[in-house]
Structure 1
Amino acid sequence: MAPIINGRLLFNQLPNGLPVPGKTTVYDASETIDLETAPLNGGILVKILVLSADIYIISRMRDSSVEGRSSPFLLNQPIDNYGVGLVLRSEHSSFKQGDHIYGMLPFQQYIVMPPATAERFTVLSNDAGIPWSAYVGVCGMPGQTAHHGWREFSKAKVGETVFVTSGAGPVGATVIQMAKAEGLKVIASAGSDEKVAFIKSLGADVAFNYKTEDTREILAREGPIDVYWDGVGGEALEAAIDAASVGARFIECGMISVFTGEPYHVKISFNIVTKELKISGFIVTSLHQAHLSHFYETFPKLVKEGKIKYKEDVTQGLERAGHAIVDVITGRNKGKSVILVGEE
């Protein structure tokens, strides 16, 4: 078989503010691969099917000298994120041709993985028969974030009230549905009327556009809140602290306001003391050992049965992946952003 193009999305330069497709990231078609003869050296050859575009990607677009919880992207190398791939060839006993794997994949069409790298990936059984794209969204890292964080920290009780920010995103939308299933009153916010309609369809009792309505007024009227799911930080966090009940649980999984504007410094932090708030920040991978088995046992089935709903914003091809990333960071996506790289 003749070599074919192995398209890649490269990290080309550090962004000054928002990343710019064609500058920050560049699509490159100069590399080729022969799918039949590429040496595996005990590893596996994978065709990448679908990749995830997530807000946190911008935190990895930094100079390699800047420390952070996640590793920075390397200049002139493909960026990477969670994805699903198809094993085309294997010399590894844990993988066979036709397996679908989930984990951190480069933004390119094909990859030969050495044995040690391959062993970090999960083989997906997909007994539920849901689309593979769901495994980078509601049944992937975003769904795991919602599932793990809620189980670990919410301590939810029937009749309590939860406030969910970024309610139309893949994490927030999942939290809304989990909270409703446990008998909570759900207040949720989003950044457009279309997104507000979506979170209402998920069962939110109070849904509002934070750009046109005052968060503090909504919480004063509908609270106090017993649980706060935070993907935003900034002014929303401050409003939630002000509206919290004594002993409320704050679950901190994101701070998108840090990346999209001037940092907002919370001014009523003393209420954390007087209200005896429980504030828990977490990274999803830190909770895998306690919750990942339960997640895979339950979530794909719930999605298949329609008990957990989701919405996707699909981008076709790596050539447009840089635009998909910017859309997620600026909130222009309409559902979980997925990039379809290849067909089975």
Structure 2
Amino acid sequence: MTTARKYVLESQFQGEPKRSDVKIVEEKLPPLNDGEILAEAVWLSVDPYMRPYMRRFKAGDTMIGTQVAKVIESKNEKFAVGDYVVGAFGWRTKTISNGEKLSKLDRSMYTDKKLSSALGVLGMPGATAYFGFLELCTPKAGETLVVSTAAGAVGSIVGQIAKIKGCRVVGFAGSDEKVGYIKGLGFDEAYNYKTITSLKETLQKACPKGIDMFFDNVGGDFYDTVLPLMNEFGRVSICGCISQYNLEKPEQGARLSGTILFKQLKIEGFIVHRWLARWPEAFKEMNGWIEKDQLKYNETVTEGFDNMFDAFAGLFTGKNLGKAVVKA
């Protein structure tokens, strides 16, 4: 009988996630039935969305998440031993699956050296950047885009896509190292939001013609400051609000209804799975940009399944540059 290890929720997160909120347990897996596969984790993803989504779960439930896994046993004719798949298996080392909702990796796109990219630039975060920006912000050449958490898995890709589309891009990140990184990606302006004196004054200087598009991963004061500086008919894509995830009580924000009304702003939040059927077209185009060196990506790799929580907690203290992944 096969043994799997998995992280389960010990208690609901209060404020910043703590190691005592989760624990690793062992699970005995039964023999495979016809139509099933046994997959072993190779790369696992940690993402900010896990923090608010886990509110829906109870103690004892497995931590959610996506992984790249290798098929090590199969009784399903669609999957052979040695195939690599992407599945929402959660934080676990081995998983039995009936094959539904699994994506088999196209090895012509994902080589052994970049299998982890199926969790990043050629995975959910990449699709988030592609559709969240192109579909909601509808960029036009010459327009100005502001991106928060611009050195992260999504923001760094958004900024580069905007440059490919001929836009001017202003990004904000949480350290001088990250500012240097996004400048190297081609951002026109980049700032460390922790060291600037005034976000409003910085934005006014960086965007003398106003802001046409805003891709927001942060929410809170950052959102409240950007909106009044937007041009008429500006577009805002709300991808996340990481500044709010660890708060025990909601913040009281600015009242911006008048700004939205009179500037006729379009503001839309989204969950990327609305475009799930179109993800392959995004990955095909993005892979082309990667091969032409128009799109670059970085991964912060944590070694070892036992260190997975540390990788997750690091998302909320700014430890990751680009996509955070765990090598099992």
Same fold (TM over 0.5): yes
- Alignment of 1:296 onto 2:283: yes
* Partner amino acid, structure 1, of 2:181: F
Contact persistence 1:7–1:318 (CA under 8 A) = no
Aligned pair in 2 of structure 1 residues 284, 247: CA closer, same or farther (>3 Å)? Answer: same
- Alignment of 1:199 onto 2:195: no
Name the CA distance, whole Å, in 2 between partners of 1:254 and 1:305. Answer: 30
Name the CA distance, whole Å, in 2 between partners of 1:193 and 1:260. Answer: 24
* Partner amino acid, structure 1, of 2:172: S
Long gaps (5+) in structure 1: 63-71
Contact persistence 1:40–1:90 (CA under 8 A) = no
| Structure 1 runs (4+) greater than 6 angstroms displaced | none
- What TM-score do you get using the length of structure 1 for normalisation? 0.88
Residue among 177, 185, 191 paired with 2:160:
177
Name the CA distance, whole Å, in 2 between partners of 1:315 and 1:264. Answer: 36
After superposition, the C-alpha distances for 1:121-160 in whole angstroms (9 at most, x for unaligned) are: 1111031325111110111111010011122112211111
User: Bigger CA drift: 177-186 or 211-220?
Assistant: 211-220
Long gaps (5+) in structure 2: none
Residue among 36, 44, 49 paired with 2:42:
49
Name the CA distance, whole Å, in 1 between partners of 2:254 and 2:67. Answer: 36
- What TM-score do you get using the length of structure 2 for normalisation? 0.92
Equivalent positions of 1:144-223 (< 5 A) are 144-213=127-196, 214-223=198-207
Residue among 291, 298, 301 paired with 1:314:
301
Residue among 275, 278, 283 paired with 2:263:
275
Aligned pair in 2 of structure 1 residues 304, 76: CA closer, same or farther (>3 Å)? Answer: farther
Residue among 107, 117, 120 paired with 2:101:
120
* Partner amino acid, structure 1, of 2:265: L
Contact persistence 1:160–1:184 (CA under 8 A) = yes
* Partner amino acid, structure 2, of 1:299: M
* Partner amino acid, structure 2, of 1:259: Y
Equivalent positions of 1:320-339 (< 5 A) are 320-339=307-326
Contact persistence 1:257–1:263 (CA under 8 A) = no
Shift of 1:5: 4.6
- Alignment of 1:31 onto 2:27: yes
- Alignment of 1:142 onto 2:142: no
Name the CA distance, whole Å, in 1 between partners of 2:225 and 2:107. Answer: 41
Name the CA distance, whole Å, in 1 between partners of 2:312 and 2:212. Answer: 33
- What residue in structure 2 maps to residue 67 of structure 1? none
Contact persistence 1:193–1:209 (CA under 8 A) = yes
How much is the aligned-residue C-alpha RMSD, in angstroms? 1.7
Contact persistence 1:9–1:318 (CA under 8 A) = no
Contact persistence 2:36–2:75 (CA under 8 A) = yes
Name the CA distance, whole Å, in 1 between partners of 2:286 and 2:40. Answer: 25
Aligned pair in 2 of structure 1 residues 112, 135: CA closer, same or farther (>3 Å)? Answer: same
- What residue in structure 2 maps to residue 20 of structure 1? 18
Name the CA distance, whole Å, in 1 between partners of 2:226 and 2:319. Answer: 25
Shift of 1:305: 4.1
Contact persistence 1:8–1:78 (CA under 8 A) = yes
What SS does the aligned partner of 1:321 have?
helix
Contact persistence 1:234–1:266 (CA under 8 A) = no
- Alignment of 1:257 onto 2:253: no
- What residue in structure 2 maps to residue 109 of structure 1? 93
